[in-house]
Amino acid sequence: MKTFGVVVFPGSNCDQDCYHAAAHAMGARARYIWHRDTDLSGVDCVILPGGFSYGDYLRTGAVARFSPVVAAVADFARAGGLVIGICNGFQILLEAHLLPGAMRRNQNQKFICKHVHLRVEQPQTPFTGAGRAGQVLRIPIAHGEGNYYADHETLRRLRENGQIVFRYCRPDGHITLDANPNGSMDNIAGICSERRNVLGMMPHPERCSEPVLGSADGRVIFESILRNGVVS
Amino acid sequence: MIEPAVYRELGLKDEEYQRIERLLEREPTPTELAMFSVEWSEHCGYPRSRPLLRLLPREGKFAPRVAGDAGGVEVAPGLTVLFKLESHNHPSQVEPKQGAATGVGGIIRDIFTMGARPIASLNSLRFGDLQTSLAKFLFAGVVDGIQFYGNCVGVPTVAGEVYFNRCYRGNCLVNVMCVGVVPTERIVLGRADGPGNAVMYVGSSTGRDGIGGCSVLASHEFGEDEQKRPTVQIGDPFTEKCLIEACLEALDTGAVVGMKDMGAAGLTCTTSEMAAAAGTGMDVDLALVPRREAGMEPYELMMSESQERMLLVVERGEEERVAGIFHKWDLNAVVIGRVTEDGILRVRDGGQVVAEMGAQDLASPPTYEMPVEPPAYIAEAAARDLSALPQPKDYERALLDLLASPNIASKRWVWEQYDHMVQINTVVLPGGDAAVLRLKDVAHDLSDAYLWEPRPAAIREPCPPTTPTPAIAVTTDCNSRYCYLDPYLGAQIAVAEAARNVVCTGAEPAGITDGLNFGNPEKPDRFWQFRRCVEGLAAACRAFGVPVVSGNVSFYNETPTDAIHPTPVVGMVGVIEDIERRCTMDFKRPGDRVILLGESLQELGGSEYLAVAHGLETGRPPALDLAREKAVQAACLEAIRAGLARSAHDCSEGGLAVALAESCIRGGIGAEIKLPPAQSDLRLDATLFGESQSRIILSANPRHVEEIARIAEKHGAPWAVIGETGGDRLRIESSAGAGLIALPVAEMEQAYEGAIPGLMG
């Protein structure tokens, strides 16, 4: 059985939610990893959860990326281990250069919390293997800086290599401007590394892994990890 | 020799100063004078309200846990929900973002200081006319402050209310509520027990922010040109998040004997009240207090309202262990003194004693009986004859105007700025009658209390949930227009409406916290309003069998030209035994029957319709028959628990038509409604928009109607099938068959959802 390791930075808010989703909603094993810890033994998939690590001082995710654990996570990723960064976790992966691009403030300059729809663009990752191309998932966002940006060259590479994993869409799957909640380039909601073992996504799958919460579509991501996953 | 001007400047009366001299048997030192001035201020000491607050009942069906900074009720065996409402009005008028932010921070601290994990925040906000730029500025700033603090600190903001009325022009109201959960046996009190135990200061360092905030800002009216900016505190939600985790971890060691948060009056309040509560004393040295500014005087350290600080009493010998936990989270943790047994609060600054008084003396402000006098306007308003008012020519226009009225219109613009999902407990999201939060911790066996224990680094095996999962419903309510027209009745209605709101989600009302916002208590007509409101609250709470477990009083909400309406905000928590038996307000399917529980009377007084269509705030508020209210609520609750109600929504501002429109808009389905036959000569506008109390609209599968009727009869609640869901319009016909309204749901939705964004951009 797979074991999830949930990293906890000062200011992480969604670590307990991710732990609950992994352990209680999905029935997997889980443990916490304190940010000063570098021991990832026994962990098959690292989760960098949402929140406001270090209060979002400087730039969101900018300080967290210097924590000892991030270097350990980078080694883990290089060795092929699975890493998923959710919301602030995605921002940290960008700051740590484990994923390309950057996050800017939402276009409307406000924090937005609501359910949105995502289209699975890339089912061939350890995080989407249980889904299919074009599948629409209803997953909530909650962020002030989810406006993904990458320069033209990077964007071209992401497209060519199939690294765009999720895009914001309408309930029927159409990718439109009105379905984009934050101005993110190309409606990008989640991307993966070239080797596909590192994923960053702004929406929160841990918030929709149980029917009682209004949507269980987040389970697709956790199920994919549990089924596939590359163990280092 | 202390000049009267000095102590008056601090807000102390002559008699109070003389009393201080008598207690000390000498003149007070400057530090002592400062300490008394903040501890005895209206905001901290409650000298004028305390006698009346004793009227509020503390007993109820769900075992109340009333003590300390917050109070609560036991909602499941061994599990307590703590909650409290607090105001941060004056700072928010001065600096809306930081005023609101620090209000949120402060109320959250009141919850985790008792060992509870904060699981939700709510708020009740009031501003002037939203057409004015001042109101827009304050509204935007306050919402920004709440999202800035609440989102970062990781506590979801799940419910609330926002009202606009010109009476709040010079005095906005920002009432914030926090709810937390804790195993009953782990509740911690703010007591300094055990002479010899360490007094430990944890959290942010102390600066000059907020000095005199409670004594200066919150205990006086605003003058016309006041510059009170330096007295507004600055909040740091990141530090508070770390503080939550560190405190809960520290409590888990079992070595923390008492804990109290430093809010208004900071160190003065915590040291004196913790010692007084335990009957002990304290000896503290200010030289050990972490500070962020140089050259701070002892009185400044004692008065400072710097945020994100707590005072702990730690078992002798365990100081390093506990401090280590705070250091791990990069927070200050310093032993600044010891608990003593002589009942004296002794404050040193390095070698020198700068203050020395009985802890009980300091923590026992005098109380005052204030004179009351009913204001003249009440009788005039009650006698106002509304029968001659013209009826609307266009009922559709009237309904659209109400849906677009800021008091009724959708507040989505507000709550989509709040993270209302973090902690993954929110099952019924904002926008309904009440928010519903599951208590998932209960379902996972309290001994696996991973939310209170330090995060385990060891791998844990999965633990499937047991069922059923209980839940709580939470809401804040107050129609201050009713309270203005009849304080006693208005306050009762606030309780009734809060109870009705949680019932509509399937919850049984369990406990109340209150936020009492009034004008200058030294004016007999304002104090009369306060007294009548407290009496009304007490009567209603007793009738519903619901205890008041905590609360807050905010006086002096007025300027020379404006006084607020009496605004006793009720924060209600209800209990749902099984989360699967919850209910929401949206119509679900076409072809469902629409049932009205309760009775519509001819009551236009105090209605939003009267204000919007006729520009009047007058008349009598709608009557409240407590027996009828309880019958309707009981019928609704039973129907929901039996799985018979597809939706439930109560009638409030805007009356029956607005309630129906809201259920249509939220469900995206129209309805065909025929108004029940009239009791007497009914004005159609009164039937559509009047705000008669004790009415709930249900929708149900047609084959369940008979059962629902039986339940209603059993409880003695009037009921009537008034129509059916379906189509894309809301059609309302009079009992005589005249078509009054046939509005497309899309058009109603545009008015309802577009109003606030349209004004705020």
- Inform me whether the C-beta atom of residue A14 falls under 8 Å from chain B C-beta atoms: yes
- For residue B721, the cross-strand partners are B595
Q: Is residue B71 part of a domain?
A: no
Cβ of A111 within 8 Å of Cβ of B419? The answer is: yes
Q: Is residue B235 part of a domain?
A: no
Calculate how close chain B gets to A73, using CA atoms only, in Å: 16
How far apart CA A213 and CA B730 sit, in angstroms, is 30
Cβ of B241 within 8 Å of Cβ of A52? The answer is: yes
- Count of structural domains, chain B: 1
CB neighbours of residue B618 within 10 Å:
21
The alpha-carbon radius of gyration of chain A (Å, integer) is: 16
Taking each continuous run of H as one helix and of E as one strand, the counts in chain B are: 26, 26
Percent of all residues in chain B with a pLDDT value above 70, rounded to a whole number: 93
Burial of B379 (0-12, 13-18, 19+ CB in 10 A): exposed
Q: Is residue B317 part of a domain?
A: no
Interval B692-732: pLDDT, tens = 999 999 999 999 999 999 999 999 999 999 999 999 999 99
Interval B99-135: pLDDT, tens = 999 999 999 999 999 999 999 999 999 999 999 999 9
Interval B43-52: pLDDT, tens = 888 889 999 9
Nearest C-alpha in A relative to B419: A113
Listed residue (B444, B696, B720, B473) closest to B581, CA to CA: B473
Taking the CA atoms of A109, A111, A113 and A115 in sequence, report the sign of the dihedral they define. Answer: positive
Distances (CA, A) of B702 to B98, B152, B708: 52, 47, 10
The string of DSSP letters for B397-409 reads: HHHHHHHTSTTTS
Calculate how close chain A gets to B114, using CA atoms only, in Å: 21
Q: Grade residue B459 by pLDDT with cuts at 50, 70 and 90.
A: low
In this prediction, residue B39 carries a pLDDT of: 93
Q: Which two tokens stand for residue B609?
A: 């319709």
Cβ of A24 within 8 Å of Cβ of B463? The answer is: yes
Q: Is residue B640 part of a domain?
A: yes
How far apart CA B490 and CA A197 sit, in angstroms, is 61
Q: Grade residue B3 by pLDDT with cuts at 50, 70 and 90.
A: confident
Q: Which two tokens stand for residue A82?
A: 């699975």
- Inform me whether the C-beta atom of residue A121 falls under 8 Å from chain B C-beta atoms: no
In this prediction, residue A55 carries a pLDDT of: 74
Taking the CA atoms of B396, B399, B403 and B407 in sequence, report the sign of the dihedral they define. Answer: positive
More confidently predicted of B459 and B421: B421
Query: Per mean pLDDT, which range of A139-143, B146-150, B214-218, B269-273 is the poorest?
Result: B214-218
Q: Is residue B735 part of a domain?
A: yes
Which of A27, A37, A54 lies nearest to residue B462, judging by beta carbons?
A: A27
Interval B637-646: pLDDT, tens = 999 999 999 9
Check pLDDT > 90 for residue B458: no
The CATH number of whichever domain residue B662 belongs to comes to 3.90.650.10
CB neighbours of residue B121 within 10 Å:
26
- For residue B124, the cross-strand partners are B161, B175
Cβ under 8 Å to A: B residues 201-240? 236-239
Cβ under 8 Å to B: A residues 161-190? none
Q: Show the domains of chain A with their CATH numbers.
A: 3-227 (3.40.50.880)
The angle at the Cα of A119, spanning A117 to A121, to the nearest 5 degrees, equals 160
Listed residue (B741, B743, B706, B691) closest to B497, CA to CA: B691
* Secondary structure (H, E, C), B227-239: CCHHHCCCCCHHH
Check pLDDT > 70 for residue B343: yes
Which of B422, B450, B579 lies nearest to residue A142, judging by beta carbons?
A: B422
Interval A200-229: pLDDT, tens = 999 999 999 999 999 999 999 999 999 975
Residues of B in contact with A140 (CB under 8 A): 421
Nearest C-alpha in A relative to B331: A10
**Domain enclosing residue B624, as ranges:** 583-761
Check pLDDT > 50 for residue A95: yes
Q: At which residue do the structure tokens 């209980």 appear?
A: B470
The string of DSSP letters for B590-656 reads: TTPEEEEES------TT-HHHHHHH----SPPPP--HHHHHHHHHHHHHHHHTT--SEEEE--TTHH
Check pLDDT > 50 for residue B574: yes
Q: What is the ipTM of this complex?
A: 0.96
How far apart CA B437 and CA B475 sit, in angstroms, is 11
Whether the CB-CB separation of B118 and B243 falls below 8 Å is answered with no
Check pLDDT > 60 for residue B230: no
Q: Is residue B508 part of a domain?
A: no
- Inform me whether the C-beta atom of residue A232 falls under 8 Å from chain B C-beta atoms: no
Percent of all residues in chain B with a pLDDT value above 90, rounded to a whole number: 84
Calculate how close chain B gets to A207, using CA atoms only, in Å: 6
Cβ of A20 within 8 Å of Cβ of B440? The answer is: yes
Q: Is residue B240 part of a domain?
A: no
Summary mean pLDDT of chain B? 92
Q: Is residue B684 part of a domain?
A: yes
Where do the H-state alpha helices sit in A62-141? 68-78, 88-95
In this prediction, residue B253 carries a pLDDT of: 92
How far apart CA A16 and CA B422 sit, in angstroms, is 10
- Inform me whether the C-beta atom of residue A226 falls under 8 Å from chain B C-beta atoms: no
Q: In what order do the strands lie in the sheet with B671-674?
A: B647-650, B696-700, B593-597, B719-725, B671-674, B729-733, B739-744
How far apart CA B124 and CA B516 sit, in angstroms, is 11
Cβ under 8 Å to B: A residues 17-56? 17, 19-21, 23-24, 26-34, 37, 42, 50-52, 54-56
In this prediction, residue B1 carries a pLDDT of: 73
Check pLDDT > 50 for residue B34: yes
Listed residue (A38, A45, A40, A53) closest to A21, CA to CA: A45
Active-site option among B88, B420, B565, B715: B88
Check pLDDT > 80 for residue B335: yes
Whether the CB-CB separation of B326 and B333 falls below 8 Å is answered with yes
Nearest C-alpha in B relative to A42: B459
Element (H, E) at A188: strand A188-192
Where do the H-state alpha helices sit in A100-230? 152-160, 219-227
Cβ of A113 within 8 Å of Cβ of B421? The answer is: yes
Q: Grade residue B257 by pLDDT with cuts at 50, 70 and 90.
A: very high
Whether the CB-CB separation of B436 and B473 falls below 8 Å is answered with yes
Residues of B in contact with A86 (CB under 8 A): none
Interval B524-544: pLDDT, tens = 999 999 999 999 999 999 999
How far apart CA B683 and CA B678 sit, in angstroms, is 9
Cβ of B329 within 8 Å of Cβ of A10? The answer is: yes
Summary mean pLDDT of chain A? 94
